[in-house]
Amino acid sequence: MIQKSRRGSAGALTYALVFAFLAGLPPALAFGEPRLEPDERLLARNPPTHGLDAKSFAALALIASGAGDQTERLEAELSSMGDELASLAENATGGREKTELILAFMYEKTLSRYSEFQTRLDIAIQKGEYNCVSSSVLFAYFAKRLGLETYGNETPNHSFCTVLVDGKPIDVETTNPFGFDPGNRKELPGEREGETRYLLVPKTTYRNRTKIDDRRLIALIYNNRISMLERSGRFEEAAGLAVDALTLQGENAPPGEIADRFLNYAINLSAGGDHEKALGFVERARGEFFDFPRYREFENNTVQNAAADLVKKEEYDEARRLLARYRLRVDPSVFKKTAVYVWAKKAETAARGRDWLAAAAVVEEGLAEIPGDKSLQNQRNAYRDNFAVEVHNRFAAEMNRGNRARLAAFWKRALHSCPKAPSSSRISLSWKRSAKAHRYFREDHGEAPSRASEAVNFY
């Protein structure tokens, strides 16, 4: 009976990137090295005090905005506007009146057009374009100039300010000139004498709010700029700004924010095929800043991706060397799974020419490195079974053709090639039947059956 051979196969491994949102982003135009040193101006202008005075607040906000060589000029312009506002507020009584004066002043002198992504203070001053962050920062500066006690608030999608009026916190929606105490109706003078109009600024986006200090409010400028850079694939620049945001906030900085920026840069490198540069950068970030749990997850995924890329190119030995280099930086289970994959694919390549014993020998090497792995054992046994099937089929074909002259030499070669290991009962039976038939053949010709008995006992 002619039997069919079966394949020993390892399924292809596929590994996802850590942050799924990167899938739709364009790649960076060039893989520059991120700046891991903070902007020196931050170190010079960031005082050790808990709060910030108006001057320091303005300077740091303009630095965070990326104002560059315009910083000093815009500081002077802000200071001049602050002086004008202070003059207007001389006769104002109470925090409510001062707050409403600040909002009116902002929209009369500076702010003119809402732009969702315009987070920079310098552009708000020069062009009048603003969003919730830049308007909150501008309001906080003017509140400091009038001596109002104020702080920022952060939600997942919004920012705004709160002022203390007679000890009571009252919210200020800085994106609206009538944003004092949103949710409450305001009286406004009508167009005709004696007429009164009413305005209500809705209070709809203040859930999950977090009170934040001056530096965190300024850091939101960095965060929005970082978001825009990453959307355009400029991950190395985003990582540099994250270093600045960390430096600004000090120990109060959320560690995940800078770690995510570093990871996004590294993921982008890895997606471009530069796996080892990505792994080297993460190790550098860990050493210069701090460790973070998602670094390990990234290393697990990236080492697997790097090995898979080498396997695609059939560079199996290089894949094994890569695993050896990063063995201590990945989980043991990841190392084992990836090593098994490399050995299995190397054996599949060896088996392409139906050299089943060569393929089985490759798997044996893998089992020496990863003893007891069931998938490799099954793959090795499959290759040996295939060898046994081919020996059986060839022997049967020669017997059926009556070509006895070739049988002795063929059988001798087959026995010489036999691996010393068991296989499945089905193939074992076919091998024994072949060996038994050969023994009868040899005995018919007066030959000793000693080598044939080896085959019978092999399985």
* Same domain membership, residue 213 and residue 322: no
pLDDT along the chain (459 residues), means of 10: 44 36 41 86 88 95 95 96 96 91 95 94 97 97 96 93 93 91 62 50 73 96 96 95 95 91 96 95 94 95 97 97 96 97 96 91 95 95 86 73 64 60 46 52 46 39
Which pLDDT value is given to residue 284?
95
* Same domain membership, residue 226 and residue 281: no
Whether 189 is in a domain gets the answer no
The pTM of this model reads 0.78
* Same domain membership, residue 287 and residue 251: no
Q: Is 257 exposed, middle or buried (0-12, 13-18, 19+ CB in 10 A)?
A: middle
* Same domain membership, residue 416 and residue 303: yes
* Same domain membership, residue 308 and residue 236: no
* Same domain membership, residue 146 and residue 213: yes
The whole-angstrom separation of Cα 385 and Cα 421 is 11
| Partners of 189 in beta bridges | 196
Which pLDDT value is given to residue 249?
95
Whether 201 is in a domain gets the answer no
Cβ pair 8, 348 in contact under 8 A: yes
3-class SS of residue 196? strand
Q: What is the number of structural domains in the chain?
A: 2
* Same domain membership, residue 450 and residue 393: yes
Whether 195 is in a domain gets the answer no
The whole-angstrom separation of Cα 102 and Cα 138 is 10
The full DSSP string for 114-164 is E-TT---HHHHHHH-EE-HHHHHHHHHHHHHHTT--EEEEEETTEEEEEEE
The whole-angstrom separation of Cα 394 and Cα 348 is 23
Assigned token pair, 135? 């308007």
* Same domain membership, residue 426 and residue 362: yes
| Partners of 200 in beta bridges | 185
Which pLDDT value is given to residue 434?
55
150-155 and 210-212 strand pairing: antiparallel
Which pLDDT value is given to residue 395?
72
Which pLDDT value is given to residue 35?
92
The whole-angstrom separation of Cα 211 and Cα 310 is 50
The whole-angstrom separation of Cα 98 and Cα 104 is 10
The whole-angstrom separation of Cα 206 and Cα 429 is 76
The number of CA neighbours under 13 Å toward the Cβ of 117 is 6
**The last residue of a domain, from among 218, 245, 266:** 266
Q: Which domain holds residue 433?
A: 272-458
Whether 2 is in a domain gets the answer no
Whether 137 is in a domain gets the answer yes
Q: How many other β-carbons are positioned within 10 Å of the β-carbon of residue 26?
A: 10
Q: Could you tell me how many helices (H) and strands (E) the chain has, helices first? A: 18, 8
The full DSSP string for 79-91 is HHHHHHHHHHGGG
Whether 184 is in a domain gets the answer no
CATH code, 349: 1.25.40
* Same domain membership, residue 161 and residue 59: yes
* Same domain membership, residue 58 and residue 158: yes
* Same domain membership, residue 276 and residue 261: no
The whole-angstrom separation of Cα 15 and Cα 297 is 12
